[in-house]
Amino acid sequence: MATDWADVYRKTYPDLVRFLHRKVWDPERARDLAQEVFVRALEHDPDDTRAWLFTIAANLARDEARSAIRRKQHLELLVTTIDRPEPPNPIERIEAAEQMKAVKAALARLSERDREVLLLWDAGLDYGQIASHTGLARTAVGTTLARARRKLVEAYDVGEGSHESLG
């Protein structure tokens, strides 16, 4: 059966952009990479379209990171996220930026596998799709997610503690 790419695009694009944004930390670049995912996908008809698209996205994000390292560019954290509008109050904007910086730092402290599992789950993939993408056994995804969440909270708390001691 041929894939209805228009329907897949409508249903998957926002999650794909959010996933890529958390990989590259640049909303414009995340949208560009999401478009590239669909350009590459149009010539194929995979069995599990959503998981396959996220695999392409992860590979593109990994290539993007390698290119950035080669160019010795540093990715900057943005004040706003894709999911939330910018707070109108300047104090709230600063707090939101600090919180995003803390989340980014906490994610960076995780192993690649833990970070990948969390981001795939956040993007809406189910356990089977996450297992397929990461190579984990389907039965191990829940345990890995629970451990990754706990590590993320711990890493966030450690970062917040070191941030508070500077103030």
- Condensed to tens digits (0 to 9), the pLDDT of residues 44-96 reads 888 889 989 999 998 888 887 776 655 443 333 333 344 555 557 788 778 87
Percent of the chain with pLDDT over 70: 82
DSSP 33-96: HHHHHHHHHTT---SSHHHHHHHHHHHHHHHHHHHHHHHT------SS-SSSPPPSSHHHHHHH
Percent of the chain with pLDDT over 90: 17
pLDDT tops 80 at residue 22 = yes
137 φ/ψ sector (left φ>0, alpha ψ -120 to 50, else beta): beta
Task: Give the CATH fold of the 89-167 domain.
Answer: Arc Repressor Mutant, subunit A (1.10.10)
Report residue 106 as tokens.
Answer: 């906490």
Is the CB of residue 120 less than 8 Å from the CB of residue 110?
A: no
φ and ψ at residue 26, rounded to 5 degrees:
-145, 110
Residue found under tokens 């833990």: 114
Is the CB of residue 78 less than 8 Å from the CB of residue 25?
A: yes
Distances (CA, A) of 154 to 4, 96, 114, 117, 165: 42, 20, 13, 17, 17
Residue 12 pLDDT level (bands cut at 50, 70, 90) = very high
Residue found under tokens 């894939």: 3
pLDDT tops 80 at residue 21 = yes
Query: pTM for the full model?
Result: 0.56
- Domains in the chain: boundaries: 1-76, 89-167
Write the pLDDT tens digit of every residue in 90-124: 887 788 788 888 888 888 888 888 988 888 888 88
CATH class of the domain defined by 1-76: mainly alpha
pLDDT of residue 72: 41
d(CA 167, CA 165): 6
Amino acid at 102: A
pLDDT of residue 50: 92
pLDDT of residue 14: 94
pLDDT of residue 73: 35
H/E run at residue 119:
helix 112-122
